[in-house]
Structure 1
Amino acid sequence: MPPRLSPFVQRLPPRFLCPAVPRSFFRALGSIQPKPRTNPERFNHGHDLPVLISSRTSAFLRKEPMLPLRTGAIAIKKGMSAIYDPVTAKRIPCTVLQLDRCQVISHKRRDIHGYWAVQVGCGTKEAHNVSRPERGHFAAQGVPLKRHLAEFRVKNAEGLPEIGSTISADLFQEGQFVDARAITRGMGFAGGMKRHGFSGQPASHGNSLTHRAMGSAGASQGSGSRVLPGKKMAGRMGAEMHTVQNLKILKVDVENGIIVVNGAVPGPKKGIVKLQDAIMKPWPNIDPSVGVSGMGSTAEKLEASV
């Protein structure tokens, strides 16, 4: 019976029949041959999920359902109070906000700026306290000088009110929900216990004047002998943009421009608060023209007269 050859010997030819090919030749072949295309559905494992497309247009379309249908308003925080509810017999804490000559300044269009937005201004300012580029911006739109400016993203062109329109307090109705954005109060330099809620060091057992100290900031050789970025440490606290969602409108006074919302709003007294329809709640079923009186700008009136 002849001896059996191993499968490995049968698969490979003898070495003297194989020419010596340098390793650089295989590297050149690997760079020339086309690489396999990445599976476009590797990030979407569900059968009902659409394929994600990495483009500016597709990103805008994904974000479009979450954008409000109308503009918001700039308000001034006057302080906190409370309202007694006779039905539930509870004392409801609330924040009093006031609108001060809130007016539409300009528009941001998608074909020009890449997105839909409304620029709103409030208050007033002397001309000698406004820079020349800012004065040119207000003059081009035909609106008076404003102290504060803010932008409110909207879904499409239907949410752009007329330039120069005045926004009143009845833009928001009692019972609806809004999102409040403001800059929080600045606390200055704060330690780890106040800034991040650290528990602190032990009160006894050899602790020497480090009861409120942070402790170790990073390991030695195991993690690269450095402090990793983003480590919670002592530093400046507050003075950051913060958003409080789903605040209920309790009262609206159109004559005095006062809006009373349930709960607390970030920022100090006399601070600027940006109010807009809550994105986590159903959109209010009201006419988009409610609360916005179309006065028109001076520039449009001059063009119409000519």
Structure 2
Amino acid sequence: MQKGIIGKKIGMTQIFDAQGNVVPVTVIEAGPCAVTQKKTVENDGYESVQLGFGELKAQRVNKPLKGHFDKGDVAPKKTLREFRLNDTSSVNVGDIVKADVFAEGDRVDVQGTSKGKGWAGVIKRWNFGRLKESHGTGPVGRMGGSTGCCSDPSRVFPGKHRSGHLGAVTTTVQNLTVAKVDAENNLIAIKGAVPGPNGGIVCIRDSVKAKKA
């Protein structure tokens, strides 16, 4: 990975390209992010940088984090994320990463926390089909049906698709296209949808698939 940045999802809108076609985009407030820590092969076994995003009042910082920020002489940040870069020689603690680190046309992967849906049944959670609604089924058309044998092995195997909590998990959408970059206002417009609700924290990285292509 060559570059990355932390951002906050603003919402979806649409823009027009040079041919006049409508392009649905997600607007992300990307940065400015401060480099709060730099890891090297000699000290940590790998190279990476830790970025901080969002201002945080000093009275809301605990002592360990205060020492962490003071060591790098960086103002307290609300969100910290680590990015494993291929080369960190040109990055130093205290540097500011802005939205112009990406350019229009770049391919990126966007990681965020998906929207929480609460408890969901098997139809919504796993795309099950309904049971037959003829005589004898009863009022259980949206249930999952049989989940195990009654004799052998007389149990339900782990990992069986059943109802449960849906969403609120780390999700990555790969190989999206940067449609527009507004460096002055720290905004990046990415074609398509990205994980999470409006106001959610997302991480934008170089696309893994684009590098393989």
TM-score (norm: length of structure 1): 0.66
The higher radius of gyration belongs to 1
Contact 2:109–2:172, Cα closer than 8 Å, also in 1? yes
What letter is aligned with 2:150? Answer: S
The size of the alignment, in residue pairs, is 212
Partner of 2:69: 138
Alpha-carbon distance between aligned partners in 2 of 1:188 and 1:133, rounded to the nearest angstrom: 34
Q: Which has the higher strand share?
A: 2
Determine helix, strand or coil for the equivalent of 1:215: coil
Contact 1:71–1:118, Cα closer than 8 Å, also in 2? no
Q: Deviations over 1:120-145 (max 9, x none)?
A: 01111112211111111111111000
TM-superposed CA distance for 1:86, in Å, is 4.7
Partner of 1:244: 173
TM-superposed CA distance for 1:208, in Å, is 1.3
Q: Deviations over 1:101-123 (max 9, x none)?
A: 31111012223222211100111
Partner of 1:109: 40
Alpha-carbon distance between aligned partners in 1 of 2:21 and 2:132, rounded to the nearest angstrom: 41
Alpha-carbon distance between aligned partners in 1 of 2:168 and 2:141, rounded to the nearest angstrom: 27
Partner of 1:92: 23
Choose between structure 1 and 2 for higher RCO, CA contacts under 8 A separated by at least 6 residues.
2
Moved over 6 A (4+): none
Alpha-carbon distance between aligned partners in 1 of 2:44 and 2:136, rounded to the nearest angstrom: 62
Unaligned runs of 5+ in 1: 1-67, 284-306
Q: How does 1:224-243 map to 2 (within 5 A)?
A: 224-243=153-172
Determine helix, strand or coil for the equivalent of 1:280: helix
TM-score (norm: length of structure 2): 0.94
2:109 to 179, 184, 191: 179
Alpha-carbon distance between aligned partners in 1 of 2:161 and 2:66, rounded to the nearest angstrom: 43
Contact 1:219–1:226, Cα closer than 8 Å, also in 2? yes
Partner of 2:52: 121
1:191 to 99, 121, 131: 121
Alpha-carbon distance between aligned partners in 2 of 1:123 and 1:189, rounded to the nearest angstrom: 32
Residue 167 in 1 paired to residue 97 in 2? yes
What letter is aligned with 2:208? Answer: I
TM-superposed CA distance for 1:226, in Å, is 1.3
Alpha-carbon distance between aligned partners in 2 of 1:235 and 1:241, rounded to the nearest angstrom: 17
Alpha-carbon distance between aligned partners in 2 of 1:111 and 1:221, rounded to the nearest angstrom: 59
Partner of 1:155: 86
RMSD: 1.5
Alpha-carbon distance between aligned partners in 2 of 1:273 and 1:77, rounded to the nearest angstrom: 7
Determine helix, strand or coil for the equivalent of 1:123: strand
Q: Percent identity?
A: 39
Q: Which has the higher helix share?
A: 1
Alpha-carbon distance between aligned partners in 2 of 1:141 and 1:71, rounded to the nearest angstrom: 21
Distance 1:269 1:163, change over 3 A: same
Q: How does 1:1-306 map to 2 (within 5 A)?
A: 68=1, 70-87=2-19, 89-158=20-89, 161-222=91-152, 224-282=153-211
TM-superposed CA distance for 1:155, in Å, is 2.1
Alpha-carbon distance between aligned partners in 1 of 2:88 and 2:192, rounded to the nearest angstrom: 33
What letter is aligned with 2:200? Answer: G
TM-superposed CA distance for 1:154, in Å, is 1.5
TM-superposed CA distance for 1:218, in Å, is 1.4
Q: Deviations over 1:199-226 (max 9, x none)?
A: 121122222110111111112333x211
